[in-house]
């Protein structure tokens, strides 16, 4: 196998990081109008996905699931609370811990969001099987990169 051409290996279009970054940007743009109907931003949607799956979790748990700093979630969670989608509550066992509970509005928003995954599949012009394999490959890549942290 020939050695990589040093003149091309640093070209933007040859970079995996740019392919991931630019695809993420495009994916967020596809989500934007879908989420606007729900009154959510993309980061808020991600938080709601976790809460729809695990109501009553702590901010720390949400932070770990979203791979983000707990402090950066505070403005997002305050906004969701002001929209009456969740309640932030200090734990009775440890007042340093904040627990997150969906309101009825937050739970009912899940039904309104049910169409979003199929819209994303349609926009991708790929099969569900192809997208599932891509997601699994990216999850494995993420896990490998996390080992370096």
Neighbours of 15 (CB within 10 A): 13
First CA to last CA distance, the chain? 32
Angle in degrees, 0-180, between the axes of helices 128-146 and 116-124, rounded to the nearest 10 = 100
24-39 pLDDT, tens per residue? 999 999 999 999 999 9
Output the six-digit token pair for 87: 């309640």
> What global pTM score does this model have?
0.90
Q: Which domains does the chain possess?
A: 37-110 (1.10.10.10)
43-98 pLDDT, tens per residue? 999 999 999 999 999 999 999 999 999 999 999 999 999 999 999 999 999 999 99
Mean pLDDT score of the chain: 95
Please tell me the distance from the alpha carbon of residue 45 to that of residue 22, in angstroms, as a whole number: 20
């Amino acid at each position: 196998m020939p050695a990589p051409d040093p003149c091309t290996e640093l070209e933007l279009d040859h970079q995996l990081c740019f392919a991931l970054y630019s695809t993420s940007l495009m994916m967020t743009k596809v989500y934007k109008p879908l989420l606007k109907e729900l009154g959510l931003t993309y980061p808020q949607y991600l938080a709601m996905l976790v809460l729809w799956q695990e109501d009553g979790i702590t901010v720390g748990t949400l932070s770990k699931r979203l791979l983000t700093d707990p402090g950066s979630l505070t403005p997002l969670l305050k906004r969701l609370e002001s929209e009456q989608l969740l309640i932030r509550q200090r734990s009775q066992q440890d007042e340093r811990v904040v627990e997150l509970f969906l309101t009825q509005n937050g739970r009912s928003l899940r039904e309104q969001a049910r169409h979003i995954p199929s819209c994303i599949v349609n926009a991708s012009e790929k099969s569900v099987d192809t997208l599932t394999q891509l997601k699994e490959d990216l999850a494995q890549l993420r896990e490998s990169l996390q080992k370096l942290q």
